[in-house]
Structure 1
Amino acid sequence: MTTTTTIQQDNTSMATNTKAGGINPLKLWPWLAVLLIAVVLPFVFDSGHTINLLSHMGVAIIFALSYNMLLGNTGLLSFGHAVYFGLGAFVAMHLLRAINDAGGTGLPIELLPLAGAAAGLGFGIIFGSFSVRRAGVVFAMITLGLGELVHSSSLMFTDFFGGEAGLFGYRDEAPSLLGVDYAPSRNVYFLVVAWTLIAAILMYLLRKTPLGWMANAVRDNPERAQFVGYNPTIVRYIQFVLSACFAGLAGGLFVITNEIVNDEVVGQLQSGAVLLGTFIGGIGYFIGPVIGASLVTFLESSLSAHTEAWVLYFGLLFISIVMFAPMGLVGIVHTQYVNWKTGGWKGNTGIRLYILVSGIVGIFGLICVTELSYHYFRSWDPSAPFSLMGISTNATHFMPWLVSFAITLIGFGLMLFHANPLLKRHISANSDGGKA
């Protein structure tokens, strides 16, 4: 009896060659392309801020892929995955501080993430022993409670967590296995890239093992998986523990990148960020969490520098994905690619571009309305001019509101009430003509 169908087919080109029983070398090109891009990026964008941002993206990618082992592969919605990321980071930080106190002798800095992975593994074994006994809402509530428990403990047990100030360590005072000076951020970035590729490959291969396939079966139909002889609780437990291990690995890399760790790494914001990135990218595709984590990390850095309403935009984006594109951004692209390959775009490319442009216009107007509202209700002096899309604007005047609402209504109105019906009529006409 075969396992039930997965949430989405993993249609990425990074697939195994089932006919040969191994990996097709021709299908390794995406990994090589990613490696080449990762090596070139710090030389193209050579500012310290950009390189640090790229390093944070690598850490976020490992964290999101580990979370997708639960949500996408096993169907376990966790609200406290930051527990294993954060505890792994704290254990790695204590080890780094011990190395600093010992005068730079001890575990090489390149292997420090393994300490975080071991901590994540250990705490995953403990917490997973009772968390995975039930799935669904019960599991989600247990993880939420654990997250709050650990976060509150981080402010109580200051000897381990460092209190509100957190803990500091110095990566350049630790020994290097390769004799590399990790004071420059570029060298740290290459270390993050190496661990990101190693972790991503391991998690990708894990999806192709019997455990990975049974995790999909337990996600889709635990009763049937149990009927063929597998214990769903054991499958969930193993996936949970391995996921916590990779989350701890990401936490260890976080310590090397930031050289500081505090209570925020075990908080709900951290758990929410990984959920956001994973779901926005697409939980049914291996590349989905990679894209989502990179996008969320970039937007956190760029949006927060340009607008105080950046958290609101994240919420709107997440709601939009959940409501209109639950397959995520990668799912949208993949669906349109399959549609194009099968001839679904033939004769209606212009209409699709019309939908895209009108949607962008509507989003532009909605952003203007949001910025006006945020300035009007949150500013100490709403009448003070502020920059809106590069134009000095007064939120107390009527005209900016009128123009912004008009742009929003025109854009979304054209998309919903003209462009979309036009596309549906065109597709229906082609379908009827094909049948005739």
Structure 2
Amino acid sequence: MRIKAGGAVFALALLAAPWVFSSSLGLNLLTQMGIAAIVCLSYNILLGQGGMLSFGHAVYSGLGAFAAIHALNAAVLPVSLVPIVGGLAGAGVALLLGWLTAQKSATTFAMVTLGLGELVAALAWLLPQVFGGEAGVSGNRVAGVAPWGITLGPQIQVYYLVAAYTLVCTALMFVFTLTPLGRMLNAVRDNPERVEFVGFDARRIRFLAVVIAGFFAGIGGGLAALQFETVTADVLGSQRSGAYLLFTFLGGSGHFFGPVAGAVLMVLANVLLSGITKAWLLYVGLVFIAMVVWVPGGVVSLAGQLRWRDAPRYAAWALAFAGFAAMVEMVYQLQLRAALGPQVGFMGLVLDATSGLSWAGAAAALGAGVFLGLRK
């Protein structure tokens, strides 16, 4: 009953979201969140369900995106089915690479995926006929036929296409966790030796999980190709794979919907936070470290750990972080934007990076926050 209720709430949220965030920016962000949710959920099949730390998951989503953009340009399928081509491409690549990566687990698995990911990313620059070189490969999602007047030109139509894929893929991945294969994958994560002892092949189970994850990651890549109408070799790099790892963990790899929360954070960080400050990667890294140390269950488990009686302590640490961030922003202003002057806007205030008063105020906020936060 709780599962059905959760699914209904998720579906209603996908349906109603564009009516709440109806601006062009809002629809764009929602569309990217849906795409990221599919890829992060597919990554969690490896990390959360199977205990496989992968550093090359962007290979499947990226090659799925390239396959989809080429299928779009070939105009052999309705545009709404193009993401499935990306999924098949992701699964096909996983059939080749997964056989090798699934032979080992733990650290060896991670290192093999890192090496293969870097290999594929390097090959992309050597095959400009396929990957388009620095310019990438572009397409036009409105060039084909428009059944029922759906041209996929307006962003709202793209969003609902992505929402439909997100809902179906999420449901399928959830059902996978309930299947015997999904349960055996959990067993391989917890005790692979015991799985072998009772007669199952842990390597085959890991291999099948990689193929399934590659399929859904490819669908996410295909949707991204439709959203942006261009695909470059950057989508194959280790930075993209690292982002899937980081935000899946931040969302909560131990919970099924944790990666969805991580996908929302990933889009907000990459689109909004990166536009506010040049130091956004520093802040994301600090938050990641804090989550690993104090909240390893991710943001979805954070609500259960918060206590109203600890609100003053939370406020104190927020003050400390604000003081630290103010100092970071002034350093960035002096080092990277000195030509624009010493003044920098921060949380409604105007700080002078060359003024001792601004530095003293930031240091005082940092010190006071740490002092109050550490008090019992």
> Taking structure 1 as the reference length, what is the TM-score of the superposition?
0.83
Matched residue of 1:229: which SS? coil
- The answer for the alignment partner of 1:72 in structure 2 is 48
Report if aligned partners of 1:355, 1:415 keep a CA contact under 8 Å in 2.
yes
In structure 2, how many angstroms separate the alpha carbons of the residues matched to 1:170 and 1:76?
37
- The answer for the alignment partner of 1:359 in structure 2 is 317
In structure 2, how many angstroms separate the alpha carbons of the residues matched to 1:325 and 1:157?
43
- The answer for the alignment partner of 2:229 in structure 1 is 259
Q: Deviations over 1:94-153 (max 9, x none)?
A: 110111xxxxxx311111111000000000000011111111111111111111111111
Match status 1:88 vs 2:64: yes
- The answer for the alignment partner of 2:128 in structure 1 is 158
Match status 1:59 vs 2:35: yes
In structure 2, how many angstroms separate the alpha carbons of the residues matched to 1:245 and 1:177?
26
Match status 1:275 vs 2:245: yes
Match status 1:168 vs 2:138: yes
- The answer for the alignment partner of 1:201 in structure 2 is 171
2:344 to 386, 398, 401: 386
Q: Deviations over 1:379-425 (max 9, x none)?
A: 33486222222322221221111111111121122112x1xx3xxxx
Structure 1 residue 313: deviation in Å?
Answer: 1.3
In structure 1, how many angstroms separate the alpha carbons of the residues matched to 2:12 and 2:288?
31
- The answer for the alignment partner of 1:217 in structure 2 is 187
Q: Which structure's relative contact order is higher, taking Cα pairs within 8 Å and 6+ residues apart?
A: 2
Amino acid of the residue matched to residue 115 of structure 1?
V
1:140 to 107, 110, 135: 110
- The answer for the alignment partner of 1:409 in structure 2 is 367
In structure 2, how many angstroms separate the alpha carbons of the residues matched to 1:368 and 1:250?
37
In structure 2, how many angstroms separate the alpha carbons of the residues matched to 1:151 and 1:380?
36
The worse-fitting range, judged by mean Cα deviation, of 387-396 and 165-174 is 387-396
Match status 1:396 vs 2:359: no
Matched residue of 1:387: which SS? strand
RMSD value over aligned CA atoms?
1.5
The worse-fitting range, judged by mean Cα deviation, of 215-224 and 175-184 is 175-184
Amino acid of the residue matched to residue 295 of structure 2?
A
- The answer for the alignment partner of 1:434 in structure 2 is none
Amino acid of the residue matched to residue 284 of structure 2?
F
- The answer for the alignment partner of 2:330 in structure 1 is 372
Give runs of aligned pairs for residues 18-29 of structure 1, distance below 5 A.
24=1, 27-29=3-5
Amino acid of the residue matched to residue 41 of structure 1?
A
Q: Deviations over 1:28-81 (max 9, x none)?
A: 122222222222221222221221111000000000000000001101101110
In structure 1, how many angstroms separate the alpha carbons of the residues matched to 2:339 and 2:140?
44
In structure 1, how many angstroms separate the alpha carbons of the residues matched to 2:213 and 2:3?
26
Q: Deviations over 1:129-187 (max 9, x none)?
A: 11111111111111111111111111110010000101111111123455412100000
Report if aligned partners of 1:383, 1:396 keep a CA contact under 8 Å in 2.
no
In structure 2, how many angstroms separate the alpha carbons of the residues matched to 1:156 and 1:142?
21
In structure 1, how many angstroms separate the alpha carbons of the residues matched to 2:9 and 2:277?
34
Q: Which runs of 5+ in 2 are unaligned?
A: none
Report if aligned partners of 1:110, 1:177 keep a CA contact under 8 Å in 2.
no
Report if aligned partners of 2:145, 2:151 keep a CA contact under 8 Å in 1.
no
Report if aligned partners of 2:351, 2:358 keep a CA contact under 8 Å in 1.
yes
Aligned positions, number: 376
Structure 1 residues 246 and 356: alpha-carbon distance in aligned structure 2, compared to 1, 3 A threshold: same
Report if aligned partners of 2:330, 2:344 keep a CA contact under 8 Å in 1.
no
Structure 1 residue 376: deviation in Å?
Answer: 2.5
Report if aligned partners of 1:109, 1:177 keep a CA contact under 8 Å in 2.
no
Matched residue of 1:171: which SS? coil
Report if aligned partners of 2:102, 2:203 keep a CA contact under 8 Å in 1.
yes
Match status 1:299 vs 2:269: yes
In structure 2, how many angstroms separate the alpha carbons of the residues matched to 1:361 and 1:185?
39
Same amino acid, percent of matched pairs: 40
Q: Deviations over 1:279-309 (max 9, x none)?
A: 0001100111000111111121111111111
In structure 2, how many angstroms separate the alpha carbons of the residues matched to 1:373 and 1:299?
21
Report if aligned partners of 1:382, 1:395 keep a CA contact under 8 Å in 2.
no
Q: Which runs of 5+ in 1 are unaligned?
A: 1-23, 100-105, 337-344, 422-436
